[in-house]
Amino acid sequence: MDFLAVAMRWAHIASMAFVVGGAFYARFVLAPATEGWTEAERVKLGDRIANTLRPVMMIAVVVLLLSGTFNLLRKTNLPAGYHMWFGIKALFALHVLGVSMLLGRPGVALAKRVRWLTGIAASGAVVMLISAVLRAMQQ
Ligand code: HEM
């Protein structure tokens, strides 16, 4: 068994579950739970979360990029169209990763955070779909 490949695949799936799952949780559970709070209270909560999130998100983004690059470089005999779909996935993935880093900024209004989260939850879902297509293309 190729243990390095298994470890890298696990790292890729675990880090993407944190990033995309976290976006869905924050958008559809955490943000609605602050309904009725003042804007100052919401910004304070957002800042506290941002401070805790920043280093963890940095690690998740680095692991995703490294494990994804490893996965790609290990591929051989790729079918026609694979690189096109991979390029589309990379664009959506960059959106997710870039905005995930922005979420670590303090002082952002909750409405703006919710817009960011809606965008990356949607892009994250698209990235997972394209990843499933990439896998199916090789069977
Ligand atoms: C938001 C960011 C990302 C998400 C949500 C994501 C999600 C996924 C998922 C769900 C898989 C399928 C795992 C499997 O079946 O083993 C996968 C595979 C893969 N990912 Fe990502 N990924 C992301 C970022 C990246 C990046 C940045 C790269 C490249 C630098 C990358 C390269 C790959 C490759 C090459 C595969 C293998 C696809 C195949 O089966 O041929 N991913 N990714």
Task: Tell me the pLDDT tens digit for each residue of 14-69.
Answer: 999 999 999 999 999 999 999 999 999 999 999 999 999 999 999 999 999 999 99
Tens-place pLDDT, residues 102-117: 999 999 999 999 999 9
Q: Which protein residue has the closest C-alpha to ligand 1 atom 31?
A: 68
Question: What is the 115 CA–ligand 1 centroid distance (Å)?
Answer: 24
C-alpha distances out from residue 72 to 12, 77, 78, Å: 12, 12, 10
pLDDT band, residue 139 (cuts 50/70/90): confident
DSSP 59-99: HHHHHHHHHHHHHHHT--SPPTTHHHHHHHHHHHHHHHHHH
Tokens of 106: 């303090």
Asked if residue 113 has its Cβ within 6 Å of ligand 1, the reply is no
Q: Note the pLDDT of residue 59.
A: 98
Mean pLDDT, residues 109-130 = 97
Half-sphere exposure of 5 (CA within 13 A, CB side): 7
Question: What is the 6 CA–ligand 1 centroid distance (Å)?
Answer: 13
